[in-house]
Structure 1
């Protein structure tokens, strides 16, 4: 009986191929911020890259077809007063992007169809609630207009972007390194500076599970898998890079804990829920490892490594609906280089047949939400809407994002009472103010008249006094003349 040395897998021959230089993006001033962020985000329409700018924060938004050398004066999204820390495209609207900054604000932007023609400085909505810098933003996977933000103030805030209101708040015991929604958005997994992994109820803020994660002091990353398992990357006590896989109901007992190598870069996981592929890369590394995750031990199976000559400054993955299915492309990523070059890397599975490959492209996440933000806030959960790519990806018709501020409940009650009451309405505050202003003007006029009358009387008194003194002087002179005449 022969033993299989190589595990059989349809992804065993996956290989990465960089596109030609003219199909990539060049001459971009990539941010020099040391924050642990990907610095870029991509969707089937646009590529966004955080850039270096003096006196604030900005990021570049490029249509995917605008490849080659980018003009240094190309318009940017520049509204933050501090460096931009993180950006994330809305999964249900390819023209909407969220950004977080060192200025403690989270802003949501509407990108015009076709890209920017002038700098964009006015966001659709500004979300203010954090007291310190906001280092992470993430959209809900299935609920419309639900956005998560995590700040250095140890708070996770969940917003309804459509109304600009805060839906819930999760207090964390220490600095948050990373967080991730579950497949249907009913749970939230986090990693923390205190080296612990936690699972929260995002609506109530209640902590459901807690366990010690990786023993190293460097940042840990977390990914919630579609099956409910939680994968983390971090460091051992000896600074060896590790990954672990745990069940969400028993975080204390890892299903697997593997060491990879010794390096400084934090391993960033990118997970494909359609085919359970995992890509691991890190800043400063020049390679990308990819694995296949199964439900049977040893759970995480190594496939291959993409090797490059240049280290990456940041990286982001394209949603599956943005991949080229005619070339059997199962993943596409953007690698940022320190010299301003943005490389496009394509991962393909070699197949001779030109027909649609059902095993490579199962149903994938669509660009339409499953529930509304109000339904999610009321306790409803739903899996993301899935769509087939067999006939190609056709984007759904999207409307412009508009923010509707909710009216005050007291205002609604007072308006209802006014409509039901037959009594005449009270004078408006504006009319009362006008009456008071008119009375003040009349009083000022009266005071001015009295002041003028007083000045006139003072002048008359002064004239009378002067005349009296002159008359007295004349009489005195006459008296002296009479006295001299008598002496003579």
Structure 2
């Protein structure tokens, strides 16, 4: 009689634990748009979700602690003139988020510490370069202020957000709609999937395609017969891959190893309700005291439910084998260095003593691109000079409000001490 050998793994018994009802976010009208993005992005300070909104596109930003039933008057980020299709927090500044929309623009926003007390309608920067709707935004993992966008015009643009310029435009690499884009860990490569059923590995600055089709898979896993879109998440610290599908009610997770068969199924988390999307918390936002190695924010039709992935351990001590040094919030390169040809891996931090999100960091943007674009004549017949004066008054008022918010933050910090 042969005996089946079970592969040893410290992640074999990882289990998913849904948050209690009072730790969920209720009464959220998740977007009904049919685009296949995750509709959600999260970091150690904020949770952002794309929501239904009248008169344009909007998404909601909540401090992580603001759980429970939300007020219907909750302010939104609502500067787009058409539905928002994708959002992503900046990995180097927890107060900065980018959004792509059907209005063909990308906008970059700054959320104040503590969240929104009024609707946010003025972005830091509006990036215009796509001729059709923008379905994907993705920040560079190690270079500051570098943002990727991909649109229905089959183009990938690489922006220096500080100057508001698209310094690289990849317009001839994809013959059809781009479904997804992912950076390598050091940002030296891109991987894209396209409607033409090809996966491309691209050197982004030169536009050179390093591989255009993967005919022989390293491993083949049959999941189910559903045709829903899969949302993969890879954790380089644990070499684990999590797969959840839109319209599905489960999360499958696997471990990747350097030897064949390379991909090993670990377990499955299932719940009764299917997901419309969801976001993964960066490793620095997890609770290491509970051996939490991942956290998924699952979007229902009217609700967001955090699900913690935990390794069962009896010891209360820090588990070093579960938490190698991980990517921190500091960039390794400037935008100029990366566009100039340099590459660097992430700057790592230890989670041994936990991670405390810093106060909002300064986001440097060329002041000239912050001025709102105005037509030379007013619709009501006003003169260009009057409009310019009004614009200047608004700018001064915005500067005054910003200064007051800064002073309040300083006073709060002093009071806390």
Q: How many Å apart are 1:4 and its aligned residue? A: 4.8
Counterpart position of 1:166: 166
Q: Does 1:329 align with 2:292?
A: yes
Paired position in structure 1 for 2:237: 274
Q: Helix, strand or coil for the counterpart of 2:212?
A: strand
1:109 aligns with 2:109: yes
Q: Which has more radius of gyration? A: 1
Q: How does 1:28-177 map to 2 (within 5 A)?
A: 28-171=28-171, 172-177=174-179
Question: Secondary structure, in 3 states, of the residue corresponding to 1:130?
Answer: coil
Per-residue deviation, residues 61-95 of structure 1 (Å, max 9, x unmatched):
00000000000111010000000000000000000
Indicate the SS of the match to 1:7. Answer: coil
Q: Is the 8 A contact 1:124 1:402 kept in 2?
A: no
| Separation in 2, partners of 1:334, 1:181 | 22
- Contact kept, 8 Å, 1:41 with 1:89, in 2: the verdict is yes
Q: 2:348 aligns with which of 386, 389, 394?
A: 386
Cα distance in 2 between the residues matched to 1:179 and 1:332: 22
Deviation readout 1:34-70 (Å, 9 max, x if unpaired) = 1111111100000001010111000000000000000
Structure number with greater CO (CA < 8 Å, separation at least 6) is 2
Q: 1:320 to 1:269 in 2, by over 3 A?
A: same
8 Å CA contact 2:113–2:359 kept in 1: the answer is no
Work out the CA distance in 1 between the residues paired with 2:192 and 2:215.
Answer: 15
Q: Aligned equivalents of 1:201 and 1:13: distance in 2?
A: 38
What is the TM-score with the length of structure 1 in the denominator? 0.73
Q: In the alignment, is the contact (CA less than 8 A) between 1:107 and 1:127 conserved in 2?
A: yes
Query: 1:2 Cα deviation (Å)?
Result: 7.8
Aligned length: 367
The alignment status of 1:374 with 2:373, answered yes or no, reads no
Aligned twin of 2:281: 318
Aligned residues of 1:367 and 1:396 also touching (Cα < 8 A): no
Q: Distance in 1 between matches of 2:5 and 2:269?
A: 22
Alpha-carbon distance, 1:210 to partner: 1.0
The residue number in structure 2 matching 1:5 is 5
- Aligned residue for 2:361? 399
- Gaps spanning 5+ residues in structure 2: where? 370-417
Query: Equivalents in 2 of 1:207, 1:15: separation in Å?
Result: 39
In the alignment, structure 1 residue 15 sits paired with structure 2 residue 23: no
Once the two structures are overlaid, the 10-residue window that deviates more, 392-401 or 31-40, is: 392-401
Aligned residue number for residue 454 of structure 1: none
Shift of 1:206: 1.9
Q: CA RMSD in A?
A: 1.5
Question: 2: CA distance between counterparts of 1:206 and 1:302?
Answer: 34
SS in structure 2 of the partner of residue 333 of structure 1: strand
- Residue 3 of structure 1 deviates from its aligned partner by 4.4
Q: Distance in 2 between matches of 1:92 and 1:126?
A: 19
Which residue is equivalent to 2:207?
205
Q: Is the 8 A contact 1:184 1:383 kept in 2?
A: yes
Match of 1:183 among 156, 173, 185: 185
**C-alpha deviation, 1:396, in angstroms:** 4.5
Distance 2:200 2:2 in 1: 44
Partner of 1:355: 317
**Superposition deviation, residue 190 in structure 1:** 0.8
Map 1:241-252 onto structure 2 (within 5 A). Answer: 251-252=214-215
Greater helix fraction, Structure 1 or Structure 2: 1
Query: Is the 2:45–2:357 Cα contact (8 Å) retained in structure 1?
Result: no
